[in-house]
Chain A
């Protein structure tokens, strides 16, 4: 049994991760988790990440060992859908009290496991460790082992207390628990040449069911989906799949890669968002299965299905074209993950006037320019007020974004659509893309907006908050422009590296002082690009923009 810190190191060492592969040995040890800033951090903890990743296993009892906050404040908050058991939606927690803190919570945990088995008899129990029991030294591995032996049922420890890191680390630690304790522990009744695993798909709003009928039609069997609408037994025999698809996010890349390493299951990274991506993914699944021994005719059938579905989808999108003519979209997500969504939006006649690039790489940015033209607004990191100005300046008609920025759009009386995980509509596959268009159409043409944009009859039309906000921004900009010292200060204060909070000025100073010529040099001196690495492109641009004398002087 490996210790938690060893597991974390192992996860940090992930060779399957492109970003990781570009790091030095020392950086890899530090891990991919960015340093959290007290008073300026947002986002969930490692426990949150582990729970998100595993909770969609529907027939498992998910038992959280900790005080009430961890589970009591968070349960039943995910929109995954189940085709069977509803056990996953019930909440189990040891609700540790002061006595447990003083005397240790292991006994309570053991009793809790016993109660859950007696009352609900699940095929397995996942036990989640949290900060407080980790601090007082509760050994959940030992308790789970003892309980599993005693009750003859898998009791799986998920060692991911919140304070070890952020959500994405928790996703991976959850994956490690599956690899160590579950995958490969059972055998399927039968196998077929068409068995695949889907990894990192949570079936939010049941959206995977927008694509599953096509797989069913092709005779492709999902041996195990990790973890949307998943079942414990399927997970336990998932090592018998012929191929795997890792859905877009890198949340569970360690699971995909280690299953390849241990069981020879090849995987690819794909997405079912957007028409082109859906077709590519179906093709890739068919190709891999054929490579692993499925009959070659699978590809013909796959192509036929793709042709049929694409034709249907494009035909359905056609009707939106006249309605979307001249309509402008602002797309704000944590990095544009799915280019084919952009393509589909454009195909439907929408003009994309801006997108966020905070987490995008240099290649991403090139691609944005390619897709949206040279003058596309690229948004780095914005305050709500700047976001509002952006909406106005870009003269966007609708904003598509994650939940966080919704209030800016809605308060600005701007149509808005949630395209992140909390959304209530499924946007997967061909059907999902048409549904996305329908939702955009409904939002754009709702007659409510015109009313909301009217000032109250007793208000001066020029004195509403929107106008004031804009005026303030403009005044500020003018003030800065008029004062060269302040303009320079503002220019230098531009944040370049978001992970390590490094500003342009600091980087320029370091370049000048030490005659730096490479990104690595800048990193060494300023720590910039020491986090996710997405700002490398920005630093390259800064280096390129330096006057040559600086470089010569250094040489």
Chain B
């Protein structure tokens, strides 16, 4: 069991963490015709927007209530009202998703109250979907913003279901964590549909941020799950939640509609996918298709080929809790040692990470730990690039943001096939590093004791 500690530094250096509000906006981006709106100063939106655009290399919808200093002090009712009206009139959205920020939370704006007033004052907005989530910047992290926002979507947008209503046995709700990519969601959709089931993804980033060319120029999201479909999610037979962060939304769904849920904390690795496939087979009453029997074999073969390279590697990983737990567990199961683990926010999965200590800290912490513990594989998001070049160890980019490489939206880690490709990528990275940087020379083993050194003791 890992001990979870929090960095005591006054100054965070090279942050791993990003803020809650943009995690919330990210969730709204998985809804069709949506306009995410941050209630804060215009910078709150523009920084987040830039980050998403650089990650996906797509146009991204995101707006701001553009709070000035004066508006912040006096309260933001007018700004919220104007923003909603402007967006409603100009971009014709199907839903506006509002997240608060540090500025407006410090003032203490009662946005739910604002929304009630705005609906009264403007009858055209009476029934218009407006979802508000409180997400101050000075608490939690990106993943928390996503978690709260999806749970709130369920509470506001899913129609309640009468007790005893007959459910549609083939409908399945899927609540994916923010660590899954559009590519992951497409893979899951294929797998679930192969069992004859009809999945509804909430949110569905694969519909909006997969890079497809829309039929219309629209200033809102160009795809994703529709508000109409969300309303009927209560008719599904099951909810599948992926990542511990989604338990909250799954519970909200169960409470509101009685749909039972199954939480899959991980979908990367052999065993987690065995459980997932067996579950799908059980709820659908169908045998496992031949395709997945073959894919399982391919993953097993990939693990055999790759374990020579991954086994014994000392991993330094920095990621949000669910991604950290998923990837580090898979690598641990391939024989790697999780030597340094840094994350952004608290989560029940952290103490089950296969290591001695998980630090809630920053990339400076990760870099120092990686150095002290002699790590030889680094996994974190693109902001780890400076640390990687100083440490001179192989670096695999995972998580958000990935702004300095292409194809972030299509990287996969779920399913037998996604795990297989990930295992190959990681092993190839290690092989390339050995070829480029660790070729033996006549002197490699000449010095006394070289190669016989005691493994450096763990710091804990």
Contact = CB atoms under 8 A, between A and B. Distances in A.
Most central of A36, A40, A72 by chain B CB within 10 Å: A72
B245 interface: no
A86 interface: yes
B19 A69 contact: yes
B15 interface: yes
A162 B11 contact: no
Nearest to A164: B69
Contact of A74 (B51, B82, B101): B51
Given A39-B83, A407-B59, A383 B217 contact: yes
Given A39-B82, A90-B13, A407-B59, A385 B138 contact: no
Contact of B22 (A71, A73, A96, A465): A73
B338 to A, nearest CB: 24
B46 A465 contact: no
Interface in B48-65: 48, 50-51, 53-54, 58-59, 63-65
Interface string A85-113: 01001111111111011000000110111
Interface in B385-401: 385-386
A115 interface: yes
Contacts of B219: 384
Contacts of B103: 131-132, 135, 162-163
A164 B58 CA distance: 30
Contacts of B347: none
Contact of B386 (A37, A76, A109, A407): A76
B127 interface: no
A357 to B, nearest CB: 22
Contacts of A39: 37, 63-66, 82-87, 90
Contacts of B82: 37-39
A135 B66 contact: no
Interface string B82-103: 1111110010000000000111
Interface stretch (A60-68, A331-339, A513-521): A60-68
A48 B14 CA distance: 17
A468 interface: yes
Interface string B129-140: 000000011110
B80 interface: yes
Contacts of B364: 90
Contacts of A206: none
A46 B46 CA distance: 11
Contacts of B37: 39
Contacts of A94: 10-12
Given A69-B137, A131-B103, A162-B41, A411 B80 contact: no
Most central of A68, A113, A384, A468 by chain B CB within 10 Å: A68
Interface residues of B, number: 68
Interface stretch (B111-119, B208-216, B249-257, B410-418): B208-216
B120 interface: no
Interface string A119-158: 1000000000001101110000000000000000000000
Contacts of A132: 102-103, 106, 137-138
Nearest to A45: B43
Contact of B138 (A98, A113, A119, A161): A98
Interface in B188-247: 213-217, 219
B137 A68 contact: yes
A42 B53 CA distance: 14
Interface string B1-13: 0000000011111
A115 B12 CA distance: 10
Most central of B41, B44, B69, B106 by chain A CB within 10 Å: B41
Contacts of A469: 216-217
Contacts of A115: 9-11
A66 B12 CA distance: 11
Given A45-B42, A75-B14, A407 B69 contact: no
A551 interface: no
B196 to A, nearest CB: 26
A67 B14 contact: no
A162 B18 contact: no
B14 A90 contact: yes
A71 B51 CA distance: 12
Interface string A174-201: 0000000000000000000000000000
Contacts, number: 205
Nearest to A116: B11
A465 B216 CA distance: 7
Nearest to B91: A39
Contact of A163 (B54, B59, B67): B67
Contacts of A202: none
B118 to A, nearest CB: 12
B54 to A, nearest CB: 7
Interface string A396-407: 000000010001
A111 B217 contact: no
B41 A72 contact: no
Contact of B215 (A75, A114, A465): A465
A91 to B, nearest CB: 5
Contacts of A385: 217
Given A45-B43, A69-B102, A163-B69, A92 B85 contact: no
Given A91-B15, A469-B217, A41 B64 contact: yes
A494 to B, nearest CB: 16
A468 B215 CA distance: 8
A502 to B, nearest CB: 16
Contacts of B85: 39
A97 B139 contact: yes
Given A40-B90, A73-B19, A67 B138 contact: yes
B11 A92 contact: yes
B173 to A, nearest CB: 30
B72 interface: yes
Contacts of B65: 38-39
B141 interface: yes
B309 interface: no
Contact of B18 (A68, A86, A108, A384): A68
Contacts of A93: 11-12, 15
Contacts of B17: 68, 72, 95
A70 B10 CA distance: 16
Given A90-B386, A98-B138, A101-B138, A465 B214 contact: yes
B42 A72 contact: no
A447 interface: no
Contacts of B68: 36, 163-165
Contacts of A388: 217
A205 B137 CA distance: 32
A388 B43 CA distance: 29
Contacts of A408: 217
A54 to B, nearest CB: 16
A91 B16 CA distance: 10
A467 to B, nearest CB: 11
A43 interface: yes
Contacts of A163: 41, 67-69, 71-72, 103
B183 interface: no
B383 interface: yes
A429 interface: no
Contacts of A113: 11
Interface in B269-320: none
Interface of B: 9-15, 17-19, 21-22, 37, 40-44, 46-48, 50-51, 53-54, 58-59, 63-69, 71-73, 78-80, 82-87, 90, 101-103, 106-107, 136-139, 141, 213-217, 219, 364, 383, 385-386, 403
Task: Give me the 6 closest cross-chain CB pairs, A-B, nearest first.
Answer: A45-B43, A39-B83, A39-B86, A112-B11, A111-B10, A38-B83
Given A67-B138, A91-B383, A162-B44, 6 more contacts: A39-B83, A67-B102, A77-B54, A111-B10, A115-B10, A388-B217
12 contacts: A36-B68, A40-B90, A67-B102, A67-B136, A68-B12, A69-B22, A74-B50, A98-B139, A115-B10, A163-B41, A163-B72, A384-B219
